[in-house]
């Protein structure tokens, strides 16, 4: 049975695939607007899937909370789950989910991702309320959208070990859309001009650097060349020479070991009242737990270099091991933000 995180990931990738398929239909006149709506939906689901995976698939981790009301009408310090008009629980919006990942779980996300999301959300908002389709605006949306898709694919691979690039999803370059041969005389209305000015402020000077993992916006060049890729990573559960070798896909490894040091430590800060990052904590983690292959996997930062630098990733089961040493916080309370110190 698939976990909540993986179900949300599937829905997210389906939304992004739909966004790309709609965008790549040149005869569809609402293509840019539809892409922005579906892409924002895909990102929101992806961020919530990541939170669920880091928090043991607990639904409470992605819910909105609000203050209870006392009998005298004043707000209480106790919180309750927020509901919508039909009585269902309200989940986090895209930027609240992003902030919870970076603040509460210490997940590191490149600033370019946040800027790109702000840009694509602004495009979505303009599309929902009012939008015209002059070529400069269309070109800018293509550049923002291409970076949006690239950032999405790279984070899905990093967080979940799923390589969506093998599905061949990309935004069709403008060269295939036969824009007018002359651009003279194009006049933007006020709304279009304001949008372009806002998007220009978000862009950085090195957006065209295709070697970066994440961009705010980017231009696209189409080239055809031979390429070799490795789909599987060799991995052995036991170090015994006669052990049966097991081939695990990167997706399976990241699903089994989703926590790195920063996220594990942030989770423990939230879980315990007397937890401290000190020599005692490091000794417990390194002395026993990191040596257990069921709890920790030493992953090469560059799989192509077997003698390169390794980084430990932890199973969610490692958290219970620390219950022997620290006092758990009161159950049922929503997670509180944790400082980086």
Same domain, 188 and 318: no
Same domain, 193 and 282: no
Q: Residue 181: give the domain boundaries.
A: 4-202
Helix (H) or strand (E) holding 19: helix 4-23
Give helix 111-129 / helix 31-54 axis angle, nearest 10°. 140
Is residue 280 domain-resident?
Answer: yes
How far apart are alpha carbons 26 and 239 in whole angstroms? 55
Is residue 310 domain-resident?
Answer: yes
* Backbone angles phi and psi of 303, in degrees to 5: -60, -20
Same domain, 256 and 297: yes
pLDDT of residue 186: 40
Same domain, 110 and 240: no
Same domain, 279 and 156: no
Same domain, 258 and 174: no
Using alpha carbons, select from 98, 71, 68, 101 the residue that is nearest to residue 82.
68
How far apart are alpha carbons 33 and 125 in whole angstroms? 9
Average pLDDT over residues 126-141: 64
Same domain, 272 and 174: no
Same domain, 177 and 272: no
Same domain, 145 and 237: no
Does the CA dihedral 207-210-216-218 come out positive or negative? Answer: positive
How do residues 257-300 score in pLDDT, each as one tens digit?
889 999 999 999 999 999 999 999 999 898 878 888 889 988 87
Is residue 219 domain-resident?
Answer: no
Give the end-to-end CA distance of the chain in Å, rounded to a whole number.
38
Is residue 92 domain-resident?
Answer: yes
Is residue 160 domain-resident?
Answer: yes
Same domain, 171 and 40: yes
How far apart are alpha carbons 92 and 129 in whole angstroms? 23
DSSP secondary structure code for residue 175 in this structure: G
pLDDT of residue 189: 53
Same domain, 284 and 135: no
Is residue 336 domain-resident?
Answer: no
Same domain, 141 and 24: yes
Total domain count for the chain? 2
Q: Which residue has the tokens 């981790």?
A: 61
Judge whether residue 246 has pLDDT over 60.
Answer: no
pLDDT of residue 98: 96
Task: Indicate the range of 205-219, 254-268, 314-328 predicted with least confidence.
Answer: 205-219
How do residues 156-199 score in pLDDT, each as one tens digit?
999 998 988 776 677 766 544 444 444 443 444 556 566 666 65
Is residue 110 domain-resident?
Answer: yes
Is residue 224 domain-resident?
Answer: no
pLDDT of residue 5: 94
Query: Per the confidence metrics, is the pTM higher than 0.75?
Result: no
């Amino acid at each position: 049975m698939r976990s909540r995180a993986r179900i949300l990931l599937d829905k997210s990738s389906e939304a992004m695939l739909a966004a790309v398929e709609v965008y790549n239909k040149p005869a569809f006149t609402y293509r840019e607007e539809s892409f922005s709506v579906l892409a924002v939906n895909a990102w929101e689901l992806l961020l919530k899937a990541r939170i669920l995976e880091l928090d043991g698939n607990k639904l409470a981790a992605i819910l909105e909370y609000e203050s209870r009301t006392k009998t005298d009408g004043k707000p209480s310090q106790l919180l309750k789950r927020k509901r919508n008009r039909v009585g269902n629980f309200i989940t986090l919006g895209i930027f609240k989910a992003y902030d919870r990942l970076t603040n509460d779980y210490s997940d590191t996300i490149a600033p370019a991702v946040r800027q790109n999301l702000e840009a694509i959300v602004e495009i979505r908002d303009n599309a929902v309320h009012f939008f015209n389709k002059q070529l400069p605006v269309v070109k800018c949306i293509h550049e923002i959208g291409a970076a949006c898709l690239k950032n999405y694919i790279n984070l899905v691979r990093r967080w979940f070990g799923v390589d969506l690039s093998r599905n061949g999803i990309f935004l069709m370059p403008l060269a295939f859309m036969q824009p007018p041969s002359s651009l003279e005389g194009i006049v933007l209305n006020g709304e279009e001009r304001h949008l372009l000015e806002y998007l220009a402020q978000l862009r950085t000077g090195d957006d065209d650097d295709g070697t970066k993992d994440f961009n705010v916006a980017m231009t696209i060049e189409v080239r055809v060349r031979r390429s070799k890729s490795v789909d599987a990573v060799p991995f052995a559960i036991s170090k015994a020479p006669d052990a049966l070798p097991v081939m695990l896909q990167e997706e399976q490894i990241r699903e089994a070991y989703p926590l790195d040091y920063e996220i594990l430590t942030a989770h423990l800060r939230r879980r315990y009242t007397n937890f401290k990052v000190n020599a005692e904590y490091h000794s417990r983690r390194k002395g026993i737990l990191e040596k257990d292959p069921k709890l920790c996997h030493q992953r090469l930062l560059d799989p192509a270099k077997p003698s390169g630098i390794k980084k430990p990733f932890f199973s969610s089961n490692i958290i219970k091991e620390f219950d022997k040493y620290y006092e758990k916080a009161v159950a049922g309370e929503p997670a509180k933000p944790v400082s980086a110190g």
